[in-house]
Amino acid sequence: MEEIIKMPLKGGKVARPLSLLSDDQLCDIYLASVEVLERVGLEAGEERALEVLEEAGADVERRSGLVRIPEHLVREAVKSAPSRVTLCGRTADRDVKVEGKRVFFGAGANALYVLDPSTGRVREATTQDCVNAAILADALENIHCYLSLVSPQDVPPEGVDRVKCAIALKNTTKHFFHDAQGREGAEDQIRMAAAVVGGIEELRRRPLLSLAPCVTSPLRWGKDALEVLIAMAEHGLPQIISSEPMSGATSPASLAGSLVQQCAEVIGGLVIAQLVSRGTPVLVCTLPTIMDMRTGNIAMGSVEMGLMCAAMAQIMRRHGIPYVGSGGMADSKVMDEQAAYEKAMTCLLAALAGTNLIHLSAGMLEAILTFGYEQLVIDDEIIGMVMRAMQGIQVDDVLLAVDVIERVGPGGHFLAQDHTRRLFRREHFIPSLTDRRTRKDWERSGSLDIVARARGRVDEILRSHRPEPLERSVREEIDRIAKEAQRRLSR
């Protein structure tokens, strides 16, 4: 376990990003989204947002809150937003530098339920689950950022965002990105993160926390979300401006049309953030799902999600906007073959396209309603394989190995070659959970399937991994802010 604690985060860089769209198609989708902002507009339910948009020259209907944003404001906002954003951990070796073709992975989705590893039954998530999940994510080397994996149901919903923030800050050293309940929720969490790093100025220099205001599709920015967006912009802290359209229900059934809408929604949020504070760090994020027309349910393990995230990665990279996409989710209720192929398909598509940060990528089942302890560990392995696929196949004189092939010759073997010893760890992915032994050896060791092996890994981590503790005074300040908010909101 000590090796994991000390190991710097190893994000990947996709060798040759997958291109689903031609240059003309990229242009068509982006220009159509700008046209939607100009002709259709967004609903903005917050006074400060309406003020900055109106002052900048947008067409604002005060009574309805409808805002039509001209193209020049979009162009200026995209130009002023940084193309590189660093999401800091507690220490520099935990930093995630989001830019270009770099790809990182984040866990979490605020699941309401847990697949209990001791009983195999689904139950409501608890505060202890929230603690355990943060510790697990802190230990797993392919999880680079943390979003609370569960939302505890044993505390009141008012102020639960502060409870989750306090737990995360105390139990993981990785960057924490999160939701917030309006302006007060944002300010409280900013104060918590500032307590960890030593003040608000240090938090601006090394942002340990980012928040994720989310539009309500189609095209409605609510008051609470805009309060969070504006608070983060005013503080100069990174935020993840998000859209979660459901194709066929809250966005067009055509994937191209859904892409147009989600582009318009997140770029509209980016415009507001840049008008509040030019140059403020912004990542845009989409969770693009489809509706299963047979059941009326959301489908998060669909191949269309992977396709839309891959397309959005391509669109946003073209315009220099850091992009957070989605992958690694499943509609399956249990840790089975369906979960495996849904997760692998969506994660691989998003990664090969160069999605900068793939969130919700580990631990989630049942369309992110349920968290599985073992699933988190299994998904960490899947992500490791995806990161190897991103590297592609390197070719140079050494790797072509003509001299080695000549030295071994017909009928020989390569095991004793120095070339093999030097390169196999770099060229071959070495899994920690996947079983590649013979059936006899597997049976001799207990015939454990992947879930059982993952359960053993979960137990090992929770038994031995101890995230770097915060000073007592810092822990007390974080808890005080959370409890004070809960008392205030319960009145």
Has residue 239 got a pLDDT over 80? yes
Are 161 and 180 spatial neighbours (Cβ–Cβ below 8 Å)? yes
Strand ranges for 287-419 from DSSP E: 289-292, 297-299, 323-326, 357-359, 364-365, 370-372
* Partners of 60 in beta bridges: 67
pLDDT band at 491 (very low <50, low <70, confident <90, very high): confident
Two tokens, residue 274: 């840049």
What DSSP letter does each residue of 68-135 carry, written as one string? E--HHHHHHHHHHS-S-EEE--SSGGG-EEE-TTEEEEEE---BSEEE-TTT--EEE--HHHHHHHHH
Q: Which residues contact 435 (CB under 8 A, 6 or more apart)?
A: 442, 448, 450, 453
190 vs 183, 234, 368, 490, CA distance in Å? 11, 12, 26, 21
Predicted TM-score (pTM) of this structure: 0.95
**By CB neighbour count within 10 A (0-12 exposed, 13-18 middle, 19+ buried), where does 2 fall?**
exposed
The model's confidence at residue 7, banded by pLDDT at 50, 70 and 90, is: very low
Q: What proportion of the chain, given as a percentage, has pLDDT over 70?
A: 98
CATH 3.40.50.720 is the classification of domain 2-21+78-391: no
pLDDT at residue 1 is higher than 60: no
**Closest among 238, 204, 253, 390 to 324, alpha carbons compared:** 238
Nearest-angstrom CA–CA distance, 282 and 266: 10
Task: State yes or no: pLDDT of 5 exceeds 80.
Answer: no
pLDDT tens-digit map of 44-72: 999 999 999 999 999 999 999 999 999 99
* pLDDT for the residue 9: 60
Task: Tell me what pLDDT residue 15 has.
Answer: 81
Residue extents of the structural domains in the chain = 2-21+78-391, 397-427
Sorted by sequence, the CB contacts under 8 Å of residue 444 that are 6+ apart come out as: none
CA dihedral (290, 294, 297, 303) in degrees, to 10, reads -30
Q: What is the pLDDT of residues 378-435, one digit of tens each?
A: 999 999 999 999 999 999 999 999 999 999 999 999 999 999 999 999 999 999 999 9
Helix H or strand E encompassing 220 = strand 220-221
pLDDT for 4 beyond 60:
no
* Residues 69, 270: Cα–Cα separation, whole Å: 12
